[in-house]
Each structure stands twice: as C-alpha cells, then as structure tokens.
C-alpha cells in the first residue's frame, strides 16, 4: 500500500511566528538580541543543531537553549501558527485515493500530536512521528526510518515524502525514499531541485494532483 509522509513546519503548517519568537526568546536568555523575522533558519532542522551551527554553542549550551525555547513554545508558541490553504481537503483526497498518510517531523513528537489535535487533523494519519526529547531520534532521516518501522513498510517505491526544505529532501534520500518539494514553505525551488527533489510544486492542491495522477 502506498504511503505519503508529510513534513509539518512549512508543509502543513505555517509556524514561522511561533518558531522565530521562541528562538528570539531563547537567544535573549544568552544575551543575544535578534529580530524574530531574521530567525527563519530555525524552521526545519533540529533545534540544538541550529544553535550550534549558527551561534557556535557547545552541545551542552545548545541543550540549555533548546530548553529555554520550549519554555515559551509549550504554552504559547505552539499555537502561533496556521494551516496552509487546502491542507485538510488534500489529506482527505489522498486518503480517498487509497493512500496511507503519515507525519514525519523533526519537531518533538509530543508537539506534533498536539498540533494535529488542535487542527482536528489527527484522524487522517496512520502514524505521527517526530523527534524524541532525549535526542535519540532527531534528524529527518531518523524520523523517517522510525515512521517506516511503525508503518511496517520498507519498500522505498511505495513511500513518498512531501517537504519544503533541503533538510527534507536530503533526509529522504538518506532514508532511501523520494521527496517532493513545495515552494510555499520556507525553502526555495532552486534549493529543493539542487538537493534532488523528485518534483517541486507550488500548493497543497498541486500536491494532491501529483499524488492522484502519479503515485
């Protein structure tokens, strides 16, 4: 049975406001002042990785920063987001087409579950997989492998990831599956094609068309 896996931030949900404000809050705790609108690079990769790569934090300091981030994210930031147009309609269409649907995000799984419940979308997903708080599952590839384990599905040809950044495309490639990129999120079409996306689409409606016609 064919399965479509979806990234969350930048693919199903526009979470820019919540993520950037929480990143700003965490950085401020370390004496770093940034404008929230300049922190979009926090969307997609694991938090600790971003603190280390962009601010030179040690692993220990990055873990503390991630804790500060979640201090604001849990009660407030998680809900500072909105669904992209046609998300529910597309999920329903794909499900009616006979595909299983899974969520595979680098966001902690507990937050993925809460968001799908908040938007009343949880019933569409056979599996909701995300990162673990202990860091054992953090990269996109590791989340995808965990999704595949829970689905009991190892045939790469029967799996397809929909994502918006190179982290999705490269993670899918590492896990041995194809990825279709979307340009309405936080990555560019050029970045997605350069990373090896199987196709690049401009809307959720186009995602539904692609899956029904070609997958």
What is the distance between the alpha carbons of residues 71 and 28, in angstroms, rounded to a whole number?
13
What is the distance between the alpha carbons of residues 169 and 144, in angstroms, rounded to a whole number?
11
Q: Which of 7, 9, 164, 168 is catalytic?
A: 7
What is the distance between the alpha carbons of residues 18 and 203, in angstroms, rounded to a whole number?
22
The pair of three-digit structure tokens given for residue 163, joined into one six-digit string: 């994502």
User: With b meaning 16 or more CB within 10 Å and e meaning fewer, what string describes 90-102?
Assistant: bbebbbeeebbbb
What is the distance between the alpha carbons of residues 43 and 34, in angstroms, rounded to a whole number?
15
The pair of three-digit structure tokens given for residue 53, joined into one six-digit string: 């790569």
Query: CA geometry: angle at 118 spanning 115 and 120, to 5°?
Result: 105
- 209 a catalytic residue: no
Helices and strands, counts by H and E, the chain: 9, 8
Q: What is the CA radius of gyration of the chain?
A: 16
3-class DSSP assignment, residue 176:
coil
Would you please indicate which residues are annotated as catalytic (active-site) residues? 7
């Amino acid at each position: 049975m064919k399965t479509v896996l979806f990234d969350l931030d930048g693919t199903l949900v526009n979470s820019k406001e919540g993520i950037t404000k929480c990143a700003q809050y965490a950085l401020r705790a370390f004496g770093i002042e940034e404008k929230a609108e300049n922190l979009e690079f926090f969307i997609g990769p694991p938090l600790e990785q971003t603190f280390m790569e962009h601010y030179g934090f040690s692993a220990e300091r990055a873990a503390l920063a991630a804790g500060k981030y979640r201090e604001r994210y849990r009660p407030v930031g998680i809900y500072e987001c909105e669904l992209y147009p046609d998300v529910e309609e597309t999920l329903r269409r794909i499900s009616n087409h006979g595909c299983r649907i899974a969520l595979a995000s680098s966001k902690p799984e507990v937050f993925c579950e809460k968001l799908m419940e908040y938007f009343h979308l949880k019933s569409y997903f056979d599996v909701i997989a995300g990162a673990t708080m202990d860091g054992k599952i953090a990269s996109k590839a590791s989340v995808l492998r965990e999704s595949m384990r829970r689905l009991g599905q190892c045939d790469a040809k029967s799996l397809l990831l929909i994502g918006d950044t190179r982290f999705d495309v490269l993670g899918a490639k590492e896990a041995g599956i194809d990825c279709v990129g979307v340009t309405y999120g936080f990555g560019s079409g050029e970045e997605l094609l350069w990373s090896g996306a199987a196709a690049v689409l401009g809307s959720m409606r186009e995602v539904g068309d692609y899956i029904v016609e070609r997958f």
